[in-house]
Structure 1
Amino acid sequence: MPFYDNSDVQLIFSEDTVIFDTVFTTVGSVTKLFKVKNPYSQPVLINRIYIAGGKDSDFRINVDGASGNYHEDVEIRAKDSIYVFVEVTVDPNNQTNPMIITDSVIFEINGKMFDVDLVAWGQDAYFYPLTIFEAGNSYTLANDKPHVFYGWAVVDSSACLILQEGTRLHFHKGSGILVYKDACIKSLGTVENPVIIQGDRLEYDYYDVPNQWERIWLSATSRDNVFQNTIIKNANVGIQVDSVGTTQEGLPTLTLINTKIENMSGVGLLAQGSEVVAVNSVFANCGLYCAALIYGGSYEFIHCTFANYWSHSARDNGLLLLNNYYESVNKQIVVRDLTKADFKNCIVYGNKDEEIELDKDASGTFNYLFSYCLLKTQQNTSSANFNNITANPSQVTVDGNSHDPVFQDYENYNYQLFDQSAALNKGNASYTNLLLNYTSSTNDIKDNPRSDGAPDLGAYEYIP
């Protein structure tokens, strides 16, 4: 069958512009594609397909399986289509601000020319292979450009890694931070300019993909670790705090203030016989547990939100686990006392009927308290371990539709409250004042005041 060769030829493109979200310099993007359709009952012959920028372009194309930025005599059969795949790698230019990269794919056929625009945002960065912050020294990372790690970042003995406000850390698959004995990490963001720790793929398709990197690992005897106004997302484990194998005096410490740990394939906060304080913080959307407080320890949570609506796979367990023992390599049960696990003015809520798991060895101490909390649980909330509990609130109606009784929009990871939330005005003001032991005010995670004497539960105060 002859080719359609009229000068009025048209091609149909599935996209007129292909846009890439921010891509780090020297790091290849995801592959995007668009489709080119022949609307005619005869085949068409595209004389040339090429990138306008030629060999110097940051973009690369593959036309129906054939790589290269220049192609001739590409046939599209009658009423059929071809696919054009596009990637981009941005050259570094030592700019601190994102740069825009543009080009186009040109199609020449029967004396006519068509084009599809290509647009990418490029971001220069500091790049690291396996990195050791050497023992005994203090390191403050610059906050002018992102830091991208392709191996573990090890904070060696007695060293301290300081992340100032606005610092952005990005970790490649399998990498993370290891804080060694007597070392510490201090992440000191602000409400306006938080520290962000996540994977190294910034394209929108990766926005909420878990397990992009490994974890922040605070080893046994690391001390005085602080995360303040920090967002940690899309890893396997958010923060792991160890103490197994150390004496009671060797417990690591971790303080979380106005911090979000979200979207982990495994556990948000994995605390193993450790000492943790968290205030105004959010633990959300994890495949196993938002918080697993195991092998004993001492824990205090004030105005924290624990929320789990994990949808990437089946979730068979609750979002919160408390435990006071472990099984040794010799199959012996080793009891480690849970001296304290206090939850005050907190929310523990998700889409499972039971979101609280209590795994207790009766021969050890197992002290826990939920006071002035909203819970999703089948536990006996009349027992001494529970005080002033709002349990299992019913769905509410908003604009004629059934609505989650607690959160504004959990489907979009928004765990703020709304005007009918069951968590409104249920807090204890004396617990709110305990925030002053760790922060300069009793304001919420977004710096909204809790000033009406009837604080809302969780990390967010509802503001009409």
Structure 2
Amino acid sequence: MRQYIGLLLVVLVASLTSCRNDFDFETSSGGLEFSKDTVYLDTVFTNIGSSTYTLKVYNRSDKNISIPSIRLNKGQASKYRLMVDGIPGKEFSNIEMLAKDSMFVFIEVTEDVANVNPTDFLYTDFIEFNSTSGMQKVELVTLIQDAYFIYPSRTPNGNGGFDYEEINLGDNENPIPIRASILNENDPINGNELIWNNSKPYVIYGYAVVPPTKTLTIEEGARIHFHADSGIIVANDASLFVDGKPSTTDALEKEVIFEGDRLEPDFSEVPGQWGTIWLTNGSHSNVLYNLTIKNAVIGLYVNGNDGTNSVNATLNNVQIYNCSNIGLYATTGFVDGKNVVINNCGEASFIGSFGGSYEFTHCTFANYWPTPNQTCVVLDDYEGQTEFELVKANFNNCIIYGSSNLGISHKKKGNIFNFKYTNCLLKFVDTNNQFANDPLYNFSDNSIFENCLRASNSNQNKPDFLAPNDNKLIIGSDSAAKGTAKISFSTFPDILDKDRPELGLTTTDIGAYNFIIFE
């Protein structure tokens, strides 16, 4: 019996000794390894913090260690903040790491980063990892942009919260309130909010509303960033004028760009980040030059017209990409477009619904959204009432082509449904001949499909786009669109400001882009 008790004591002592060694921690002598030596936190706007970034720290040694301190070099004054071992802060003491283990350090920029020195374009600091042999560090770098901010005003509601500035998109019986800011010519902070310039970016929270009788002018080179559920609303009897110019460099220095306010590279092509540009019923004289709209729900919504036969939306050199629903959505709209390019939209690139009047020349309506149900062009007259007649829908020298079979969709209910495609490249693969006897798709009828090239299978009449999934829709040397346009429509340069026809040529190319040789 005594032998068993002695053996038990030996095992117990050995066990306790082993446990003690497993959790003994020596003061770190350095030698930590890191997943990166510099953390580049993406561009942030003044007054807006960054996303959270991750640094991984490795203890490759066979010893459990205690790091005497981990701190930001600028201490409590730093505009970075950390989370180490699940604890937020800027300075940490005696952080333990097991042998052959790792830990995460989470990093973000605080919202007041630009207040340190408003003239700085970069903000930097570094994380110190101290040890008995010295200090190791990881650099932190952030690019700062100052910006104009347009957002709904708010007032205390007496209940500990706030009431925000709103507008009603419905009526008294069925109100649809949304947060919005009515643009002011004499705003105490931004000055004249009806002229947006290129001196610094604009960041929009909620909807920026152009009030009746006013025009919002956006000057060349302006950059407009929309937060989630944000956009622009042009009211009845108001106008939008985007005065972009052709750019001469890849920086697109003269073009106007509308996109989301998430500037990280992972968000550069993500659809549905913000709402729409809404030209409401009764708005007029809306003119958009050299504008790119990216990553919205609906890129441009043209709702109704001003009650005359005047075009209420003129689009020249307008590109719309990555819309979760629709690129250009017009309901009883009067739209004139030249060099319009739309691609990668969840439902359709262009919808002309509830009738309207449309004229598109040298446009490219592509759609390579990664599902099989989207299309490029949709026309309908709702239930066929007189007020919803399709007065006209003319497509001249246009490419209408996507990854799905049916590039066009026509839905006629009334008597007036006027459309015509002239010298267009169309994809329409009717695999089951379900449209063979439908007069709306009679491609041999020259009165509605004049001199068009139809891709009736995936190997025929290809546009030979450079990289359509990446919105690069320049046509190549094997394109069926090359040299097959009707030259009488080619009276203006292409979307890259190249002449049509080019010097020495007597033919022009279908679509928004002239043919070029891919490098």
> Normalized against structure 2, the TM-score is what?
0.79
Q: Secondary structure of the equivalent of 1:285?
A: strand
Residue in structure 2 matching 1:73, options 91, 94, 115 = 94
> Do 2:331 and 2:354's aligned partners in 1 also have CA atoms closer than 8 Å?
yes
Q: Distance in 2 between matches of 1:94 and 1:75?
A: 33
Do residues 454 (structure 1) and 515 (structure 2) align?
no
Which residue number corresponds to residue 159 of structure 2? none
Tell me how far 1:353 sits from its aligned partner.
1.0
Q: Distance in 2 between matches of 1:113 and 1:138?
A: 50
Which residue number corresponds to residue 406 of structure 1? 464
Q: Secondary structure of the equivalent of 2:345?
A: coil
> Do 1:94 and 1:124's aligned partners in 2 also have CA atoms closer than 8 Å?
no
- Structure 2: which amino acid aligns with 1:51? L
> Do 1:134 and 1:159's aligned partners in 2 also have CA atoms closer than 8 Å?
no
The aligned runs of 1:354-373 (5 Å cut-off) are 354-361=406-413, 363-373=414-424
Tell me how far 1:375 sits from its aligned partner.
1.5
Q: Distance in 2 between matches of 1:370 and 1:377?
A: 13
- Structure 2: which amino acid aligns with 1:317? Q
1:171-202 per-position Cα deviation (integer Å, ceiling 9, x unaligned)? 11111111111110000000120111111121
- Structure 2: which amino acid aligns with 1:323? D
- Structure 2: which amino acid aligns with 1:171? F
Q: Distance in 1 between matches of 2:148 and 2:39?
A: 27
**Greater C-alpha radius of gyration:** 2
Do residues 156 (structure 1) and 211 (structure 2) align?
yes
Which residue number corresponds to residue 171 of structure 1? 226
Instruction: Work out which structure has the larger RCO, using CA pairs closer than 8 Å and 6 or more positions apart in sequence.
Output: 1
1:402-428 per-position Cα deviation (integer Å, ceiling 9, x unaligned)? xx8521012322111222223211211
Q: Distance in 1 between matches of 2:397 and 2:240?
A: 28
- Structure 2: which amino acid aligns with 1:55? Q
Which residue number corresponds to residue 353 of structure 1? 405
Count of aligned pairs between the two proteins:
437
Which residue number corresponds to residue 196 of structure 1? 257
Q: Distance in 2 between matches of 1:326 and 1:153?
A: 33
Q: Residue 344 and residue 81 in structure 1: after superposition, are their counterparts in 2 closer, same or farther (change >3 A)?
A: same
Q: Distance in 2 between matches of 1:125 and 1:315?
A: 40
> Do 1:51 and 1:104's aligned partners in 2 also have CA atoms closer than 8 Å?
yes
Q: Secondary structure of the equivalent of 1:349?
A: strand
Q: Secondary structure of the equivalent of 2:76?
A: helix
Do residues 390 (structure 1) and 453 (structure 2) align?
yes
Q: Distance in 2 between matches of 1:49 and 1:393?
A: 65
> Do 1:300 and 1:341's aligned partners in 2 also have CA atoms closer than 8 Å?
yes
Which residue number corresponds to residue 381 of structure 2? 324
Tell me how far 1:38 sits from its aligned partner.
1.9
Which residue number corresponds to residue 484 of structure 2? 426
Which residue number corresponds to residue 107 of structure 1? 129
Q: Residue 315 and residue 23 in structure 1: after superposition, are their counterparts in 2 closer, same or farther (change >3 A)?
A: farther
Which residue number corresponds to residue 330 of structure 1? none
Which residue number corresponds to residue 339 of structure 1? 391
Q: Secondary structure of the equivalent of 2:444?
A: coil
Which residue number corresponds to residue 400 of structure 1? none
1:374-422 per-position Cα deviation (integer Å, ceiling 9, x unaligned)? 11213542233212222228778xxxxxxx8521012322111222223
The aligned runs of 1:224-243 (5 Å cut-off) are 224-243=285-304
Q: Distance in 2 between matches of 1:429 and 1:94?
A: 59
Do residues 141 (structure 1) and 196 (structure 2) align?
yes
Which residue number corresponds to residue 437 of structure 1? none
Q: Distance in 2 between matches of 1:168 and 1:85?
A: 30
Tell me how far 1:96 sits from its aligned partner.
9.5
1:196-234 per-position Cα deviation (integer Å, ceiling 9, x unaligned)? 111112121210112211111111111010110011111
Q: Distance in 2 between matches of 1:221 and 1:335?
A: 15
- Structure 2: which amino acid aligns with 1:427? A
Do residues 27 (structure 1) and 48 (structure 2) align?
yes
Tell me how far 1:248 sits from its aligned partner.
4.7
Q: Residue 462 and residue 39 in structure 1: after superposition, are their counterparts in 2 closer, same or farther (change >3 A)?
A: same
Q: Distance in 2 between matches of 1:87 and 1:75?
A: 23
Tell me how far 1:163 sits from its aligned partner.
0.7
> Do 2:346 and 2:374's aligned partners in 1 also have CA atoms closer than 8 Å?
no
Q: Distance in 1 between matches of 2:456 and 2:142?
A: 46
Q: Secondary structure of the equivalent of 2:357?
A: strand
Q: Distance in 2 between matches of 1:184 and 1:382?
A: 41
Which residue number corresponds to residue 140 of structure 2? 118
Structure 2 unaligned spans of 5+: 1-21, 153-180, 186-191, 248-253, 430-440
Q: Residue 276 and residue 85 in structure 1: after superposition, are their counterparts in 2 closer, same or farther (change >3 A)?
A: same
> Do 1:221 and 1:251's aligned partners in 2 also have CA atoms closer than 8 Å?
no
Tell me how far 1:252 sits from its aligned partner.
6.5
Q: Residue 16 and residue 421 in structure 1: after superposition, are their counterparts in 2 closer, same or farther (change >3 A)?
A: farther
> Normalized against structure 1, the TM-score is what?
0.88
Q: Residue 48 and residue 98 in structure 1: after superposition, are their counterparts in 2 closer, same or farther (change >3 A)?
A: closer
Structure 1 unaligned spans of 5+: 328-332, 397-403, 434-441
Q: Distance in 1 between matches of 2:408 and 2:379?
A: 8
- Structure 1: which amino acid aligns with 2:516? I
Q: Secondary structure of the equivalent of 2:469?
A: helix
- Structure 2: which amino acid aligns with 1:269? L
Q: Secondary structure of the equivalent of 2:489?
A: helix
Q: Distance in 2 between matches of 1:103 and 1:371?
A: 61
- Structure 1: which amino acid aligns with 2:144? G
> Do 2:27 and 2:67's aligned partners in 1 also have CA atoms closer than 8 Å?
no
Which residue number corresponds to residue 38 of structure 1? 59
Tell me how far 1:462 sits from its aligned partner.
2.0
**More displaced, 269-278 or 36-45?**
36-45
Q: Percent identity?
A: 38
1:105-127 per-position Cα deviation (integer Å, ceiling 9, x unaligned)? 11123423221111111000111
> Do 1:20 and 1:119's aligned partners in 2 also have CA atoms closer than 8 Å?
yes
| CA RMSD between the two structures | 2.5
Which residue number corresponds to residue 432 of structure 2? none
Residue in structure 2 matching 1:298, options 336, 352, 357 = 357
Q: Secondary structure of the equivalent of 2:516?
A: coil
Q: Residue 459 and residue 405 in structure 1: after superposition, are their counterparts in 2 closer, same or farther (change >3 A)?
A: closer
**More displaced, 98-107 or 153-162?**
98-107
Q: Residue 6 and residue 269 in structure 1: after superposition, are their counterparts in 2 closer, same or farther (change >3 A)?
A: closer
